[in-house]
Structure 1
Amino acid sequence: MNEAYIRRWREDVGACLGRLLPGFEVRFGYPPDRHTIGDPAGEEELASLAGLRLPGDLLEWYGQVREVSLPDIGNRYFIHEPGLVAHRQVTMVRGSFTADVVVFASDGGGTLFAVGAVTGSPVYRLPAGEIVAGIYRSDDPRFGVVAENLTGFLDRLRDAVEVFATMGAAGSLKRCR
Structure 2
Amino acid sequence: MLNGLLMVNVAYIRRWREDVTACLDRLLPGFEVRFGYPPGRHTVGGPAGEEELASLAGMRLPGDLLVWYRQVREASLPDVGNGYFIDEPGLVARREVTAIRGSFTADVVVFASDGGGTLFAVDAVTGSPVYRLPAGEIVAGVYRSDDPRFDVVAGNLAGFLDRLRDTVERFATMGVVGDL
Aligned match of 1:47 in 54, 66, 70? 54
User: What is aligned with 1:28?
Assistant: 35
Q: String of CA shifts for 1:70-105, please: whole Å, max 9, x gaps.
A: 000011100000000111100000010000000000
Aligned equivalents of 2:126 and 2:50: distance in 1? Answer: 21
User: What is aligned with 2:3?
Assistant: none
Aligned-pair CA distance for 1:153: 0.2
SS at match of 1:75: coil
- When the two structures are aligned, how many residues end up with a matched partner? 173
Aligned equivalents of 1:85 and 1:156: distance in 2? Answer: 21
Q: Quick check: 50-59 or 113-122, which moved more?
A: 113-122
Aligned equivalents of 1:20 and 1:82: distance in 2? Answer: 27
User: What is aligned with 1:15?
Assistant: 22
User: What is aligned with 2:86?
Assistant: 79
C-alpha contact (below 8 Å) 1:70/1:78 kept by paired residues? yes
SS at match of 2:159: helix
C-alpha contact (below 8 Å) 1:56/1:118 kept by paired residues? no
C-alpha contact (below 8 Å) 1:124/1:146 kept by paired residues? yes
Q: String of CA shifts for 1:101-151, please: whole Å, max 9, x gaps.
A: 000000011000000013441000000000001000111111010000000
Aligned equivalents of 1:46 and 1:119: distance in 2? Answer: 20
SS at match of 2:13: helix
TM-score (norm 2): 0.94
Aligned equivalents of 2:143 and 2:126: distance in 1? Answer: 20
Structure 1 residue 133 corresponds to structure 2 residue 140 = yes
Aligned amino acid, residue 115 of structure 2: G
Structure 1 residue 155 corresponds to structure 2 residue 162 = yes
Pairwise CA RMSD: 0.7
Unpaired runs of at least 5, structure 2: 1-7
SS at match of 2:53: helix
Aligned match of 1:95 in 87, 99, 102? 102
Aligned equivalents of 1:105 and 1:48: distance in 2? Answer: 17
TM-score (norm 1): 0.96
Aligned equivalents of 1:129 and 1:141: distance in 2? Answer: 11
SS at match of 1:13: helix
